Amino acid sequence: MGPIALSSGAVHAQTQTITFNIAAQPLDQALFAYSSQSGQQVIYDGGVISGKMSRALKGTFTRQQALSKLLEGTNLKFRVRPSGVAILYAAADVELPAPAASNRAPAQTVDPEPTVVIVTATKRPRNLQRVPMAVSAVKTRSFEVFGTEQVEELTKVVPALTVIQGDTPANSAYILRGIGTVTASIAAEPSVLVQVDDVPSLFQARSFVDLTDVERIEILRGPQNTLYGRSSTGGTISIITAGPTQVFSAASTGTVTSDAERRLAFHTSGPIGKHLFVRVAGNLATYDGAAENLTLGERVNGYESGSVRAKVLWAPSRRTQALLSGWYNHNRSRCCVSAYVSLADDARLRPDGGLVSVPQSVFATDIVAAADNRTIRQDTRTFADLKDGGLSLKFEQIFGEGYRLTSVTSISKFTMSDQVDADGGELPNFTARQVGSGTMSQSAIDRLLLVEPRFGDFLAAGNVQLDGYAADGKTQELRFLSQADALRYMVGVFLSDNEVRLDSARGPAFGQYRWNALARSKDTDLFGQVDWTFRPEMSLSLGVRSQHKTYGYRFEDMLANRSWVDRRKDNSTSVRLSVQRISDAGNTIYLALATGHKAPAFDLSNGFDQARADRGPVRAEEARSIETGWKVRNSSRSYAYLSVFRVDYDDFQSQSTDYATGQTYLDNVDKVRTQGIEFDAYRLMNPYWRITFTGHYLDARIVDYRHAPCYPGQTVAQDCRGTPGRQDLTDRQLPHAPRWKFNLMNDYNLRPNPRQWLVLSGAYRWQSATLMAISQDPNARQEAFGVLDLSAGLHDVRGKYAVTAFLSNVFDTFFASARQSEYRTQPLSVVQVPARDSARSFGIRVMMSY
C-alpha cells in the first residue's frame, strides 16, 4: 500500500511553519498543548501514551517536524489522514520484533522499577496494565523462586489455577476459578486450553509436559472465544518459549535435590546466515517419587522425562518473518498411586464387591495408615509412557502502515501407553481364587485372553488396566489485523482436524472389558474483534466467534462383539463486549461481558452400551461472564490489579462415579456459578528489595444438580435416596476450588563485591480447605495448608553463572494432590496421593552461560 494522499489543504497545513512553546511534561499534556498551538487534531489510544514523557519543544517548525520531536524517545510514530488528523501508534504495530540480542540474565536481578510486562493476549503487543481482561503474566524469575519445572507446577505462582492429577495424564486436568474438565472420555474437550507458541493442545494429556526453555506464560481467566484460534470456557494458558537470538548464546542448568530429583537443561542460539537464526533447547529429568511400593521395593509417583525443541527463524526484514518450530517430548511417569490414610484393623479388600476378599494382613502388609503415610502395596506397576512431537510454522507479514497477516500451521502426534494396578492392593493369585469361588468362570478368562493375550502375564496377581492412546492433530489459523487507528479490527479463521484413538482393557480377575474407540472432530471457526477508541481515554471492544464443528465416533466392544458409530454437528456463536477507561495517570478500569461455548461430547469410556449410545452426547457447556477490573501503577514503583467476576455455566460437563458399579461417566451438571475477587500487587521497597503478592477469594458453587450420584457410604439420613443412590447437590461447593488462596514472593539483593550479586528469595503460598470430589465426600477433603520455600543465589554481574541453594517446604507441611474414600474395603477406608512437595527437601541449582 502506498503513502496516504493528502488533500491540497492538508498538504499546505502540514508544510506551514508555526511557532511552538511546549515544556517537557507528560505526553498526554504535551499533545494537548500541541493541538492548541498547531490546530491539528491528534487521535491516540490512552494506553499507548500512558506513562510517557515528551521533550521540550520551542521554536518554529512545521506540524510534522514538531510532532516528530515531541515523540522522540517514546517509541511512538504517527501518520496523517487525508483530512489532516494525526494518528499516533506504537512502533511495534508496524514492525515485527527483531531477534533478541541475547537471553543472558541481567546483572541486576531486581528491576529498578516494576517491569513493563508486554503481553500478546489481545494479539497486539500491549502493556499488561492496558489489557481489559483478567490475565496474569508469569516470567522466568517466578519459576526460579518457586522451583517450577513442569506445567502442572504453575499452581505455585498462579493462585487461580489448580491441577488435578489422575492415575494417568489422560484423566488429569487444569482448573481455573474452579472450572475444568476431568473425564475419561477421549471425545470431551478441556474447559481450560493449553497452547504453546500459538499451537493448541487438542488432547488434554498432551498438556502435561516439562517447561522447556520458557520465556513467559500468560494465563487468561474466564471464557476466551474471540481472540484465539481455539476457544475455551474456563480460560487459556498460553506458553511462549524463547526465540532465536542475534548473537551466539548458550547456557546449561543443572539441578539436584535431596529427594532424588535430577534435572539438566540447556539451550544454544544464534545466527546461521544473513537472515537465518536458530535455537535448540532441551532437558532431561528424573524424580524417584513421593511414595514407596513395599511389594516391588521401589519409589512411585515419580517420572523420567526428556524433551527437545528447535526453532529456525527467517527474518529478511522487520516486516516479514517465518518461524519453523519442532518439538519432541518423552515422559514416563509412575503416577499416581494412592496411600492409605485410614484403615481399620479388621478391614478386608473386596475389589469387585464379590465373595472373595483379602484381609489387611495380605493386601496391606506392614503399612501403617496415617495422615502422612507414603507407603503402598501394588503387585503390578502403575505407569504412563507418553511421546509427543510435532511441527509448526508461523508466518507474519506487515503491509503498508501496519496491516498484519499471521498464519500458524501445525501438525502433531501423541501416543501414550499406560498400565494401572486396578484392585487396591496386593492380591496374590486372586484370579484363581475368583475361579475357585465361582465368581469368575474359566471360559470368561479364556475369552479375555483370546482378545487380549497380555493378561496372561498378570494371572498370578490381581487386576490391571491397560490403555493405548494415539492422537493426531492438524491446525491452521489465519489472523488479519488492521493498522493502529481509532477504529481497528482483527479477523481470523481457525481450522482443525483432530483424531484420538484408545484401546482399553481390564482384567483378568474381575470387571473384564476389552474395547477400542475412535473420536474425531473437525472445526471451522470464524472469529474477530473490533476496538474503537472514541475518546483518548475511552475505548470499546466487541468480539464475535462463530463455531462450526463436526464430531463423531466409532466404539467397538470386542468381548460383546458389538460396535456403534455416530456423527453430529454443532454450531454456535459467542460474543465479548468490553469498555475501558485509562486515566491521565495511566490507571485502567474496565467492564467486560462474555459468553462461551464448549461442544457436546460423547462419553467414550468404560460402560459404553446401547443405552449410552441411544442417549447420544452430553449437552454443550455454555458460559456467561461479567467482569470488572482496576489496574493501577504509580510513580512510587508499585502496582495493583484487582478484578471482580461472576461466571454462570449451564450444562457444565463433569465426570461422576457410580460407586455401586465402580464406573465413571460424563454428565451434565445443570447449573454452576463461579464468582470472586482476584488481586495482584507489587512493591519495590527500595532499589534492592521487591515484594509480589497475588491471591483470590473464590465462591465456586453448584446452583442446580439434583441427580448426582452418592458418595461411598452415604446413607438415607445423609440424603442419599433411590437405587442407584442419588443426591441433590444444589448450593454445594464445586471441587478443587479453595475459597481463599494467595502467594507471597520476596526478593532481596546484596552486592558482596563488584563482580557478584547475592539474591535472597522467599516464597509462601497458602490455601484454605477444599473438596476433591463433586460428590461432597467428606473423606475427599484437603484441609488448609501453607508452604514456605527459601533460596539464596550467587549471580555473576555479567550473567555468566549463578549458583542457587534452595530449601523447599521449610516447615515440612504434608498435603495431598488427591484424596478419596476407598470403597473397595469393608469397612470404608481413606486414601490419598502425597503431593510432589509435601515433604521438606533441599537442593542446588547451577547455571552456566557461554
Confidence (pLDDT) at 59: 92
| Residue pLDDT, tens place only, 644-661 | 999 999 999 998 888 877
Confidence (pLDDT) at 580: 92
Of the ranges 18-27, 100-109, 133-142, the best mean pLDDT one? 18-27
Contact 203/181 with Cβ under 8 angstroms? no
DSSP structure string for 535-579 = ETTEEEEEEEEEEEEEEEEEEEETTTTEEEEEEEEEEEEEEEEEE
Kindly state the cell numbers that stand for 528.
Answer: 474477530
Q: State how far Cα 231 lies from the chain centre.
A: 13
Give the start-end residues of each E strand in 400-512: 403-421, 464-481, 487-507
Every domain of the chain with CATH number 2.40.170.20 lies at 241-849
DSSP structure string for 507-530 = ESSSS-EEEEEEEEEEEEEEEEEE
As beta bridge partners, residue 146 has none
Q: What values do phi and psi take at 103, rounded to 5?
A: -105, 15
Asked if residue 101 has pLDDT above 90, the reply is no
- State the Cα–Cα distance between residues 710 and 384, nearest whole angstrom: 30
- Higher pLDDT: 461 or 44? It is 461
Asked if residue 124 has pLDDT above 70, the reply is no
- State the Cα–Cα distance between residues 625 and 332, nearest whole angstrom: 39
- State the Cα–Cα distance between residues 26 and 59, nearest whole angstrom: 20
| Residue pLDDT, tens place only, 732-748 | 999 999 999 999 999 99
Q: Give the least confident one: 40-54, 223-237, 344-358, 801-815.
A: 40-54
Confidence (pLDDT) at 123: 57
Confidence (pLDDT) at 669: 96
- Higher pLDDT: 222 or 107? It is 222
- Higher pLDDT: 262 or 99? It is 262
Asked if residue 104 has pLDDT above 80, the reply is no
Confidence (pLDDT) at 686: 86
Contact 136/117 with Cβ under 8 angstroms? no
Query: What's the CATH number for 241-849?
Result: 2.40.170.20
Kindly state the cell numbers that stand for 549.
Answer: 464443528
Percent over 90 (pLDDT), the chain: 62
Confidence (pLDDT) at 113: 40
- Map grid coordinates 506504537 to a residue: 90
Encode 235-280 in three state secondary structure.
EEEEEEECCCECCCEEEEEEEEECCCEEEEEEEEEEECCCCEEEEE
Asked if residue 226 has pLDDT above 50, the reply is yes
Kindly state the cell numbers that stand for 386.
Answer: 507418553
Kindly state the cell numbers that stand for 676.
Answer: 470472586
Contact 377/294 with Cβ under 8 angstroms? yes
Asked if residue 330 has pLDDT above 90, the reply is yes
Asked if residue 76 has pLDDT above 50, the reply is yes
Confidence (pLDDT) at 31: 87
| Average pLDDT of the segment spanning 335-354 | 90
Confidence (pLDDT) at 110: 46
Closest CA to 850 of 272, 102, 284, 108: 102
Every domain of the chain with CATH number 3.55.50.30 lies at 8-93
Q: What is the pTM of this model?
A: 0.88
- Higher pLDDT: 321 or 486? It is 321
| Superfamily the domain 120-240 falls into | TonB-dependent receptor, plug domain (2.170.130.10)
- Higher pLDDT: 845 or 160? It is 845
Confidence (pLDDT) at 708: 94
CATH class (in words) of the domain with range 8-93: alpha beta
b/e 424-458 (16+ beta carbons within 10 angstroms → b): bbbbeebbebbbeeeebeeebbeebeeebeebeeb
| Average pLDDT of the segment spanning 564-592 | 91
Every domain of the chain with CATH number 2.170.130.10 lies at 120-240
Task: Please state whether 282 falls in left (phi above 0), alpha (psi between -120 and 50) or beta.
Answer: beta
| Average pLDDT of the segment spanning 355-382 | 92
| Average pLDDT of the segment spanning 409-428 | 92
